[in-house]
Amino acid sequence: MERIEAELFTDGGNNAVVRLPGRRFPGVLVQGDSLHILRTDVAELVEACERGDLGDARDAAGLLLAGLDSLLERYAGALREHGIPRPY
């Protein structure tokens, strides 16, 4: 394990925006439990598609999209607040 200093752009929380040394742009640190929830959401979407259940697939995709949109807005907001252009 290597100890480093990183720049923290948001509170710690479950998805902190941080910049690691040597990186131009910050990234999002996702906690393990949050990553597992994201993976579970994707698995539910895949399973609904495999069953041909478009209603469940649409619902699962909508929840997944809303979660990712929220995460992306947190990231974009942190960049705006610190005067950093978005990398996309």
d(CA 48, CA 77): 33
- pTM for the structure as a whole: 0.87
pLDDT of residue 13: 81
Query: Is 27 among the domain residues?
Result: yes
Q: Note down pLDDT in tens along the chain; length 88 residues.
A: 999 999 999 987 889 999 999 999 999 999 999 999 999 999 999 999 999 999 999 999 999 999 999 999 999 999 999 999 999 9
Query: Is 87 among the domain residues?
Result: no
Query: What are the angstrom distances between the C-alpha of 41 and each of 2, 34, 50, 74, 83?
Result: 32, 11, 14, 20, 33
Task: Indicate the SS3 state at residue 21.
Answer: coil
Query: Is 88 among the domain residues?
Result: no
Q: What's the number of domains the chain is made of?
A: 1
pLDDT of residue 81: 97
pLDDT of residue 12: 78
Helix (H) or strand (E) holding 14: none
pLDDT of residue 83: 97
Where in the sequence is the domain holding 33, given as residue range(s)? Answer: 7-81
